[in-house]
């Protein structure tokens, strides 16, 4: 394994968030900027806003966090009645300026800007088709292909709604998209509803908002109206909100991992509070995997509600014990390899005064490659913990995700390559337990549509994956344990501590 692979993130990483607003007379660019800041946890590599001013669509995007990309001057230049925005974290298409969104498509007089959360699984087929129509592609991303396809079909049909609907019949995969023309906002979602998209209304009839999560509605004072339905297109302009069924909906398959890790705890997905869901996961885990200990800790931030739930159910005291540095994040300026090797210590620091001679139950959201968990356990032992019992509020991640989440191939997923006891020994904890899939589902009692994508746990994919992608991604490696050990030696060699 080379050093670059050794530095891959050890988490399921969300790839994007979208935001859209139709509000004539309001500062739509600034509202979008606020919305994107609320959704920044879903992507930190690039940010962009496109504004429609009635005649044209103007766009500003760049690499970096929202606050790095936009300032007073750039927002002042984005004047109009309607806007869409995007934040991105991705490995597909690379972290280039061209791959940043929204994507502009201008074919003859059809000018649109598109922002996409998710991943299309038939991108190559789409790209081949678009190239055969002599339409140039610059970015190499699935989202650009979707934007060009919508532009082409709109040019042919003369109706944007029809252009979107025709494109939805051709694209496959996970998508929650917002799109602006010079005067109208659109939002649409894939037939399974894999990635979330919510509609909100601004006070005093000022307009409407679309956002990947409800926390994006809250920040601009919008009232939650409803979630966009699978396969639905909503059109928002001076006529109000009009709904169309763009493609026939299929069996719902909302990403269950949104509740575990991706979504912000103050968001509500399909009627279910993410915070309450995480607390409930902790309670379920306490019943499924009890252990005698002195303290329950959560790995900040996503593990905290689960730890509170575990503590309540078990009667074992909850305590802070790991402090998160809130000002270290992923930015477009990649730190040096040496700093990246510090990994967990850049973000988390233990409290030895709390942990010394204590038997700990530590709640975390997931284990992907296992290296972060290994370092976490060692860090807690170094801080004086006498026992560390790891409890995970997701089932074992056994399969890669192809629907908008950056995961490794199967060969790099620890649970796909080791037995439970091998994992425990590798991580170095005293005991290890994962919530059951039934337990995870039971933690979402208020979800209005409890039909989920659970493919990363089960391998049961709601949208078919192309055979060539599957062949490479599903391979497992017999030498996985050796590889992880080598990687660990490499980390030890070059780390600064």
- The yes or no reply on residue 416 touching ligand SF4 (CB under 6 A) is no
**Comparison of 312 and 441: residue with beta carbon closer to ligand SF4:** 441
Residue 38: its H or E element: helix 28-38
Three-state secondary-structure class, residue 95: coil
| Cβ at position 419, least distance to ligand SF4 in Å | 22
Which one of 68-76, 232-240, 263-271, 400-408 is the stretch in contact with ligand SF4 (CB under 6 A)?
400-408
In 181-222, at which residue ranges do the beta strands (DSSP E only) sit?
185-189, 198-201, 208-211
Per the DSSP assignment, residues forming a β-bridge with 102 are: none
Which one of 95-103, 226-234, 308-316, 450-458 is the stretch in contact with ligand SF4 (CB under 6 A)?
450-458
Site for ligand SF4 in 158-197 (CB under 6 A): 194
- Return the sign of the alpha-carbon dihedral for residues 70, 74, 76, 77: negative
- The yes or no reply on residue 455 touching ligand SF4 (CB under 6 A) is yes
Distance CA 172, CA 453 (A): 15
Three-state secondary-structure class, residue 435: coil
- The yes or no reply on residue 33 touching ligand SF4 (CB under 6 A) is no
Q: Tokens 């051709």 belong to which residue? A: 170
Kindly give the residue spans of alpha helices, DSSP state H, lying in 289-419.
Answer: 303-314, 337-342, 344-347, 352-355, 371-382, 414-417
| Cβ at position 476, least distance to ligand SF4 in Å | 17
**Comparison of 194 and 236: residue with beta carbon closer to ligand SF4:** 194
**Comparison of 255 and 433: residue with beta carbon closer to ligand SF4:** 255
- The yes or no reply on residue 465 touching ligand SF4 (CB under 6 A) is no
- The yes or no reply on residue 440 touching ligand SF4 (CB under 6 A) is no
Distance CA 246, CA 233 (A): 6
Binder of ligand SF4 out of 453, 463, 465, 484 (CB under 6 A): 453
Site for ligand SF4 in 8-27 (CB under 6 A): 12
Catalytic residue, from 16, 401, 429, 447: name it. 16
| Cβ at position 231, least distance to ligand SF4 in Å | 17
Which one of 367-375, 388-396, 442-450, 454-462 is the stretch in contact with ligand SF4 (CB under 6 A)?
454-462
For the record, the structure tokens of 168 come out as 């939805």
Residue partners of 224: CB distance under 8 A and separation at least 6: 198, 199, 200, 214, 217, 268
Binding mask 214-253 for ligand SF4 (x = CB under 6 A): ----------------------------------------
Q: How many residues bind ligand SF4 (CB under 6 A)?
A: 12
Q: Is 401 a catalytic residue?
A: no
User: In 10 A of CB 77, how many CB atoms?
Assistant: 11
Three-state secondary-structure class, residue 140: coil
**Comparison of 364 and 454: residue with beta carbon closer to ligand SF4:** 454
Distance CA 279, CA 129 (A): 47
Distance CA 321, CA 69 (A): 35
- The yes or no reply on residue 361 touching ligand SF4 (CB under 6 A) is no
Q: Which residues bind ligand SF4 (CB under 6 A)?
A: 12, 194, 255-257, 401, 403, 405, 453-456
Known catalytic residues?
A: 16
């Amino acid at each position: 394994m080379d050093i670059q692979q050794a530095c891959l993130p050890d988490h399921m990483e969300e790839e994007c968030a979208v935001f859209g607003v139709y509000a004539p007379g309001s500062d739509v660019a600034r509202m979008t900027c606020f919305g994107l800041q609320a959704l920044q946890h879903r992507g930190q590599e690039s940010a962009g806003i496109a504004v429609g001013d009635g005649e044209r669509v103007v766009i500003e995007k760049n690499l970096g966090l929202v606050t790095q990309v936009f300032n007073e001057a750039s927002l002042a230049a984005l004047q109009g009645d309607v806007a869409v925005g995007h934040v991105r974290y991705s490995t597909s298409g690379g972290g280039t300026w061209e791959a940043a969104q929204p994507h502009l498509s201008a074919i003859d007089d059809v000018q649109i800007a598109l922002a996409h959360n998710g991943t299309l699984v038939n991108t190559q087929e789409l790209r081949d088709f678009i190239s055969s129509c002599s339409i140039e592609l610059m970015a190499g991303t699935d989202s650009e292909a979707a934007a060009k396809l919508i532009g082409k079909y709109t040019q042919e049909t003369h109706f944007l709604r029809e252009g979107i609907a025709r494109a939805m019949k051709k694209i496959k995969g996970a998508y929650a998209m917002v799109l602006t023309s010079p005067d109208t906002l659109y939002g649409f979602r894939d037939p399974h509803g894999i990635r979330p998209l919510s509609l909100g209304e601004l006070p005093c009839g000022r307009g409407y908002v679309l956002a990947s999560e409800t926390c994006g509605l809250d920040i601009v004072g919008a009232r939650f109206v409803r979630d966009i339905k699978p396969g639905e297109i909503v059109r928002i302009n001076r006529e109000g909100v009009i709904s169309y069924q763009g493609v026939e909906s299929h069996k719902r398959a909302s990403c269950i991992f949104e509740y575990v890790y991706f979504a912000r705890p103050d968001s509500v997905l399909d009627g279910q509070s993410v915070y309450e869901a995480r607390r409930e996961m902790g309670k379920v885990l306490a019943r499924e995997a009890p252990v005698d200990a002195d303290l329950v800790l959560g790995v900040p931030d996503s593990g905290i509600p689960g730890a509170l739930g575990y503590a309540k159910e078990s009667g074992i005291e909850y305590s802070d014990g790991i402090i998160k540095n809130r000002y270290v994040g992923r930015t477009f300026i990649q730190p040096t390899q040496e700093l990246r090797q510090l990994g967990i210590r850049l973000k988390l620091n233990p409290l030895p005064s709390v942990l010394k001679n204590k038997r700990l139950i530590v709640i975390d959201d997931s284990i992907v490659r296992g290296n972060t968990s290994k370092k976490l356990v060692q860090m807690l032992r170094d801080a004086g913990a006498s026992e560390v019992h790891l409890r995970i509020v997701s089932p074992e991640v056994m399969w890669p995700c192809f629907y908008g989440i950056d995961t490794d191939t199967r060969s790099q997923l620890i649970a796909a390559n080791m037995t439970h006891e091998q994992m425990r020994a590798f991580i170095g904890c005293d005991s290890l337990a994962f919530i059951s899939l039934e337990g995870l589902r039971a933690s979402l009692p208020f979800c209005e549509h409890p039909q989920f994508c659970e493919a990363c746990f089960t391998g049961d994919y709601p949208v078919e994956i192309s055979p060539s992608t599957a062949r490479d991604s599903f391979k497992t490696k017999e030498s996985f344990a050796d590889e992880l050990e080598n990687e660990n030696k490499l980390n030890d060699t070059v780390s600064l501590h």
